[in-house]
Structure 1
Amino acid sequence: MSNRAARGIEEAVERWFASLGWQPFAFQRAVWQAIGDGHSGLLHATTGAGKTYAVWLGALLALADPHGAEPTTKPAPLRVLWITPMRALAADTLRSIQQSLEALAPSVRAWSAAARSGDTSSSERAAQDRRLPTVLVTTPESVSLMLSRPDAKDRLGTLRLVIVDEWHELLGNKRGVQVQLALARLRRWNAALQVWGMSATVGNLEEAMSTLLAGSDGVLVQGEVPKTLVIDSLLPPRADRFPWAGHLGIAMLPQVADEIAASRTALVFTNTRSQAEIWYQALLDARPEWAGQIALHHGSLDRAVREWVELGLKTGSLRAVVCTSSLDLGVDFLPVERVLQIGSPKGVARLLQRAGRSGHAPGRPSRVTLVPTHSIEMVEGAAARAAIAAGHIEERHSPEQPLDVLVQHLVTVALGGGFAPDALYDEVRDTAAYAHLSREHWQWCLDFVSRGGPSLTAYPDYRRALPDDDGLWRVPDARLARRHRSNIGTIVSDASMSVQYLQGAKLGTVEESFIARMKPGDCFLFGGRMLELVRVHEMTALVRRASGRRPVVPRWNGGRMPLSSTLADAVVQQLALADGGRYDSPEMERVRPLLELQQKWSALPTPETLLAETLVTREGWHLFLYPFAGRPVHMGLANLLSWRVAQHAPATFSIAVNDYGFELLSATPVDWPALLPRLLHTSHEGGEGERAAPLREVLASLNATELARRRFREIARISGLVYQGYPGERRSNRQLQASSSLFYEVFRKYDPANRLLTQAEQELLSQELEIGRLHASLRRMAAQRLTLHNLARPTPFAFPLMVELFREKLSNEDVGDRIARMVAQLEKAAGGEPGAAANDPGAVRSNLVFGVEGTGDSQAPAGPERGGRQRRSARQRRAN
């Protein structure tokens, strides 16, 4: 650096690193140099390699006292905005920044740092309203709130650098679009603003950087720091040849407890909060002496509880923490030696992210152990390891033109000093999400915020932004301004209720729909405690401790993550190897009896073949098809095929899906061998018509209106049509649903060209049905060789799909009895016990180690859905 102050800081950084026994990595120096030269960019490096210090110390070196004239005793203005997707990560990042500022004093004593998020106290917010710190660590929602202040330009105009942490986590969703719009506004105020992103797990790096930098040139730095990654599996004594979703689950508890006992500190990841509650309680029941040494962490727990757990992980005072994605990202817990993943990770990037929570420091190995809850998940373990070794990681892409986010942003900017439409149009088009936004769509958004469109013109509440005498669009009503600020954001979920002891101690939040199903005296498990509901008062569930009763576990939305394309393809590759007699990993060797029986009675799927099976039972005529495309795609494919069958002759089907395949069951005969080749190879015209035809058929096969109505609820909330809460008031989930449904019907009847209706349909297709992936699956299936097998009995792959029918029709006890009888009959037909792999006692763990370069709601996950069209529609109405 050229100025004296910067040289002094650089020397202080070198001394601090030396005092810790550290040497800066080459990629860290590259980032420091790039920031010092005024470049923006993206840093991609493995978790725990030192990304935070690379970007943060680069900011200090480049920005501290850049003119050499600022008195060191005067507080420095806001210069660095650090955007992070999670509150826990914000708190952890702030601690790292403050520690480095203290270590580097007095060189940077004029700098201060603070955080602003949903966890920030009112007193802290008030202090920040008076004066912002030099470095502010915050969330996308808090950035938008700051942009909504009338003095936003003055308060944020001193910014020199914006850092977006865990960019891969934001890139593919509406929160990432919210960040893009905020960055466009900040760049408009300061054309020289530098922007840096950080990521550890994204497959399309160039696109990720281009999206962050709005197409501007940037520097892509890849952290070439060798990192040892150990991915192993905790295998059961044998692999059942007829598995069903979740049947292992807690059966693996003794082995998991032994692994925790052998580790200093461990994180036990689950895919749902319900699953986390159950595993935490089960571990305590199995090892009561661990009380106080193990803890629970998920986003619904109170802030104080979460902070206590995070501090325990920091200090190493906790033996293990059962957690969800609330601890997925970037938090630095040095004592954590290993991670256990309960059930399928569902994606390669997610597995890498969670593995990186252990050995979170340069030179320390990261280790993740997969704990299957389903026999076939053992194949996923081998597949995930192979995909990581090959460098195959999921790509993420920005949503295109979500108008609900844009409408919200227009009102935010109208509050933040107002806007001129033409200038803001150019600003918005600088983002990747809205680069192709047409004038027609822009004018529709302006019309929507000024009068609610043609159907809401008579209602003053929807005149949220209007031009003043100077031509600037502003919010004309203080009440509307308060309402908008209290509802800024794109995170939409079921309305939550506080869970609180009668004596007053708050435990956290739970979904309103869960409490609504309970009556006083009912018990449930929450925060590792068995609680009795006493009464509900003003969106608060008042509880007391209970014991000796069977608990109900809270269920949270969003628990069904589909298998990613990358991991699904890797699974099929493993099956293809098994088809050729190759079982190259402990996981594949353990599941070999299941796969060999599948091969004997039917066949194994491969990339070149599409496996179909037919079976006649007392329930009817079954078709099993295994595209390995993930749950949402299979639901669309199942409905599409059943709809195509119905075009030839009337038919009614029950449907079951999982991540591997789907089942169609008809009570009347269906000649699947004759029909299936025609159904899969239905020809379409070329070009866009090839894509549009199955799209129209999928919409025709589903209750598309009801599904779009459900999607519209989220859009109505984000766009400001309905509000989750007013100042001093909370609206119930039932009220929100009724309001959004009313708007949906009004728009369909009086404003059918409403763009939000179109968006609801597009999001239904792209997100819930994954129409792009569905179309790719159809094309792949048409190119594959169909292998159709008429079965005498269910195969290992078919059995999990059949189990779901029993779950709907029978009580829990009858389900267990029925499954046990079926398994006994099938095992007898298969020749008794599953073979040699079951002979060794206890669990066996694979232990494969390889180097990875820096570049490089229930007991178990919920099972498949099943139900005919009428039953499925009813279930969707109940779920909504």
Structure 2
Amino acid sequence: MRTPTVPPPIDPSSRIESPVQQWLAGRGWAAFEFQQEVWQAIAQGRSGMLHATTGSGKTYAVWLGILDRLLHDHPPDRGAEPLRAIWLTPMRALAADTTRALSQPLHALAPQWTIGQRTGDTPASERARQDRRFPTVLVTTPESLSLMLTRANAREELRSVEYVVVDEWHELIGSKRGVQVQLAMARLWQFNTRLVAWGLSATLGNLREAMEVLCQPAIAQGTAPEPALVRGRIDKSLVIDTLIPPEPGKYSWAGHLGARMQQPVVDEIAKSGTTLVFTNVRSQAEIWYQLLLEARPEWAGEIALHHGSMDKATRDWVEQGLKAGTLRAVVATSSLDLGVDFLPVERVLQIGSAKGVARIMQRAGRSGHAPGRSSRLTLVPTNTMELIEAAAARRAAYAGRVEERQSPDKPLDVLVQHLVTIALGGGFVAAQLYAEVRTAWAYRSLTQQEFDWALAFCERGGASLTAYPDYHRIVMNEEGVYHVPDRGIAKRHRLGIGTIVSDASMQVKYMSGANIGTIEEGFIARLRQGDCFFFAGKLLEFVRVREMAAYVKKAAKNKGTVPSWQGSKMALSTELGDAVLEMMQRAAQGDFFEPELQASRPMLQTQARLSRIPTPDTLLVEAFTSREGHHLYVYPFAGRHVHLGLASLLGWRLARQQPNTFSMSVNDYGFELVSAQPFNVTPVVDTSVFDTAQLLHDVLASLNSTELAQRRFREIARVAGLVFSGYPGQPKSTRQLQASSGLFFEVFRKYDEGNLLLTQAQKEVLSQELEISRLRATLKKMSKLRVDYVQLRHPSPMSLPLMVERFREQLTTEQLSTRLDRIIRDMENDPG
């Protein structure tokens, strides 16, 4: 919760007793029922999880309960207190906003107590002040908390911590950053067994499991009270609607309607208050910022751009403009997804599909961010299938069908990093740390053998690095305590702490030296002097590279490219895929009641005429023969990551029965296999090719699994401390980092086959890139569905987008347009 615009009336029958209640009464506020429930649980010494809609009052629900207990246990008139509470936030951008919210009651009720921030953006002078004495309340990030654990006197400094709050827990739980939090929590609980921890979330489908993941160290010790799961329910309306494109047409593919939506989006912004325009990727944000300026040049200075690659000073300026209500609109990526309060924001537009129900609800909550105000999100489809997806997303969101998020299972690279961290932070005894680590949810099944391997890897570099002193990072002294013996190793470890790994980026600077932001090195490497590109809303001309910085000047031309950033496209979630199929079934039954279905009716009726409409009970399989060869289209609606694995698997299994070579393309709805030679489709029609027996073997055989594992190993090597990214101001290039990690990968394969980091790389390829559990579940589901097999005379509206995905890799924009025009003309001229 942040400060409500219109406070709810105070209940005159309630007795004002504690200082916190008096503070509330003085502001004319009354607590919601769920906030009181949280306060009661905290007063009982219970940890827990609070799930409530964005802007409903989560922050004060937990903070005022904690503050009430702190004031009770430590009277404020005794002077400044040591560090008592840590508030973890997943983003540095949230730290300042959170600090302001926590400060108001703290300064009013305990003016001698202090509050501070500690993130990567904290000035050196402030960090030095904290090094002498931590504040009473500290707002920080997972990485900064891990850094605090490397301090030699970490136990003495942190044993006073009584409360830890993990904000936006849904954003962390499914990643290695969440595992980093779990290990830090296990350490803090070991320092203070009476520690109380709370997680906050607005969008999670598996709440009880998420609570257990966070509170597992307390649960494991068996003496803490049972954690409390609190669901906040207040009257806060959520409005999700769609900006219907003019004449969507019978055929549409990815991005087909994007530019056509320029004027409708401009019109919506013009008649609304402050608006957030969300895109899914940074390149799309750059494009839409230019589209808005192109349509309304007079808005220059009233609209802004915000994404994670832009300079921090610029992002801060944009955020302040949103808070002050001086900006008409901001085009943003997930950099503005999370909890910063922008009370003036009235409207949220989502360009393209949000791909998940949780993301839709999270972004909707950026508007009307206060109790009693409505949140409104308008979906802006960029192709006709996204119209159907919009209707499905609205229905799923209103029904509360939110995605679940699971913790990674014992990532050993994070464990290796943690062992060195604790060795720096006062040292450890192996048996004691093994018991402690196993209280973290992710490592609850960690075996003694796996722990011993990680310990030996930190101590000697494993079987293949024993001869290199740089990889002897910890040693055991005579008392049996492991510590870090070398100052250089300690310094490199502290600089490398964290689990966020991205491709090396380069600073983008004006010739004057002023910083603009960062772009991945690979994009800059493709530029020649004089090339122009859009970045941070500006058209820039590339001049030269010097010392890992790209120098630019303002371009005199009016055209340029848009940078592309690495990272996989977001995939359709299972929940949203199922909801889309339910919408398709309604259309197949002639029900076009939803406005989005009515707008997509020409496409759906064309699909029904040329083929079939997919439904939850059927699996649509289409075959088509063209000059390119023989095409097979399958539509499981399982998301692009699963479809990549499925396409590779089916192609390999079909070719095993009858030698053939396939090319493929995938999108969120299905996949295409194309071969020059005809092939037998019977195993697809009778579903025998979807068998899950020997799945792991066949998936690995169907892919270049070694290359995929080597790419994944680059991240693992960095997290485990094998590869050092460089000192501040002296970063290593992408080529250097890739060469180093590639060398380790080959050395381990040849001389250390039992290296568990290699096993982890393969495991992560299967679980994260190919989503093997979803792939297995999808195959089982497909094998039980009735197959609708259709031999096409012309590409169907659902098959054409898959053709376009493949054509884009082979054809220029003009060639692609000519090819599509011919395909559509042939279809329209066919009387049948």
Cα pair distance change 1:829/1:335, threshold 3 Å: farther
Aligned-partner residue type, residue 114 of structure 2: S
Question: Structure 1 residue 368 and structure 2 residue 377: aligned?
Answer: yes
CA contact (8 A) 1:524 1:532 kept: yes
Question: Structure 1 residue 576 and structure 2 residue 576: aligned?
Answer: no
Identity %: 59
Question: Structure 1 residue 731 and structure 2 residue 729: aligned?
Answer: no
> Displacement of 1:549 after TM fit?
4.1
For 1:394, what is the secondary structure of its paired residue?
Answer: coil
Aligned-partner residue type, residue 315 of structure 2: R
Counterpart position of 2:496: 487
Counterpart position of 2:222: none
TM-score with structure 2 length normalisation?
0.96
Cα distance in 1 for partners of 2:646, 2:120 equals: 41
Question: Structure 1 residue 81 and structure 2 residue 83: aligned?
Answer: no
Counterpart position of 1:133: 135
Counterpart position of 1:325: 334
> Displacement of 1:16 after TM fit?
4.2
Correspondence list, 1:2-13, <5 A: 11-13=18-20
Counterpart position of 1:748: 749
For 2:672, what is the secondary structure of its paired residue?
Answer: strand
Correspondence list, 1:620-631, <5 A: 620-631=629-640
CA contact (8 A) 1:483 1:727 kept: no
Counterpart position of 1:414: 423
Bigger RCO (CA 8 Å, 6+ sep): 1
CA contact (8 A) 2:653 2:689 kept: no
> Displacement of 1:825 after TM fit?
2.8
Question: Structure 1 residue 101 and structure 2 residue 119: aligned?
Answer: no
Question: Structure 1 residue 707 and structure 2 residue 716: aligned?
Answer: no
1:146-183 Cα offsets, whole Å, 9 max, x none, are 00111111221111100000001101110000000000
Q: Please say which of residues 731-740 and 517-526 is displaced more in the overlay.
A: 517-526
Correspondence list, 1:23-38, <5 A: 23-38=30-45
Question: Structure 1 residue 63 and structure 2 residue 65: aligned?
Answer: no
Counterpart position of 1:446: 455
CA contact (8 A) 2:666 2:805 kept: no
Counterpart position of 1:200: 202
Correspondence list, 1:428-467, <5 A: 428-467=437-476
Counterpart position of 2:277: 268
> Displacement of 1:331 after TM fit?
1.1
Cα pair distance change 1:126/1:683, threshold 3 Å: closer
Cα distance in 2 for partners of 1:24, 1:632 equals: 44
Question: Structure 1 residue 669 and structure 2 residue 671: aligned?
Answer: no
Unaligned runs of 5+ in 2: 1-13, 220-225
Aligned-partner residue type, residue 169 of structure 1: E
CA contact (8 A) 1:452 1:462 kept: yes
Aligned-partner residue type, residue 774 of structure 1: L
Question: Structure 1 residue 395 and structure 2 residue 400: aligned?
Answer: no
Cα pair distance change 1:536/1:9, threshold 3 Å: farther
Cα pair distance change 1:830/1:384, threshold 3 Å: farther
Cα distance in 1 for partners of 2:700, 2:367 equals: 45
Query: Of the candidates 621, 625, 628, which is equivalent to residue 619 of structure 1?
Result: 628
> Displacement of 1:773 after TM fit?
0.4
Cα distance in 1 for partners of 2:302, 2:105 equals: 30
Question: Structure 1 residue 774 and structure 2 residue 781: aligned?
Answer: no
Cα distance in 2 for partners of 1:698, 1:9 equals: 64
Cα distance in 2 for partners of 1:633, 1:205 equals: 25
1:420-448 Cα offsets, whole Å, 9 max, x none, are 00000000000110001001101100110
For 2:669, what is the secondary structure of its paired residue?
Answer: coil
Cα distance in 1 for partners of 2:17, 2:382 equals: 51
1:811-834 Cα offsets, whole Å, 9 max, x none, are 222112222232233234479xxx
Question: Structure 1 residue 644 and structure 2 residue 649: aligned?
Answer: no
For 1:532, what is the secondary structure of its paired residue?
Answer: strand
Counterpart position of 1:340: 349
1:576-597 Cα offsets, whole Å, 9 max, x none, are 1111111231111111111111
Correspondence list, 1:104-119, <5 A: 105=108, 107-119=109-121
> Displacement of 1:507 after TM fit?
1.1
Paired residues in the alignment total: 812
Cα distance in 1 for partners of 2:22, 2:276 equals: 34
For 1:576, what is the secondary structure of its paired residue?
Answer: helix
> Displacement of 1:21 after TM fit?
4.2
> Displacement of 1:726 after TM fit?
3.2
Query: Of the candidates 141, 145, 148, which is equivalent to residue 147 of structure 2?
Result: 145
Aligned-partner residue type, residue 99 of structure 1: Q
Query: Of the candidates 350, 364, 377, which is equivalent to residue 355 of structure 1?
Result: 364
Cα pair distance change 1:830/1:546, threshold 3 Å: farther
Counterpart position of 1:225: 234
RMSD over aligned Cα atoms = 1.6
Cα distance in 1 for partners of 2:721, 2:66 equals: 37
For 1:214, what is the secondary structure of its paired residue?
Answer: helix
Aligned-partner residue type, residue 92 of structure 1: D
> Displacement of 1:682 after TM fit?
4.4
For 1:739, what is the secondary structure of its paired residue?
Answer: helix
> Displacement of 1:244 after TM fit?
1.1
Counterpart position of 2:807: 806
For 1:486, what is the secondary structure of its paired residue?
Answer: helix
Unaligned runs of 5+ in 1: 1-6, 685-689, 832-880
For 1:610, what is the secondary structure of its paired residue?
Answer: strand
Cα pair distance change 1:728/1:418, threshold 3 Å: farther
Cα distance in 1 for partners of 2:15, 2:195 equals: 24
Query: Of the candidates 19, 41, 55, which is equivalent to residue 48 of structure 1?
Result: 55
Aligned-partner residue type, residue 792 of structure 2: L
CA contact (8 A) 2:690 2:783 kept: no
Counterpart position of 1:789: 790
Question: Structure 1 residue 760 and structure 2 residue 753: aligned?
Answer: no
1:220-248 Cα offsets, whole Å, 9 max, x none, are 11101121000000011122211111111
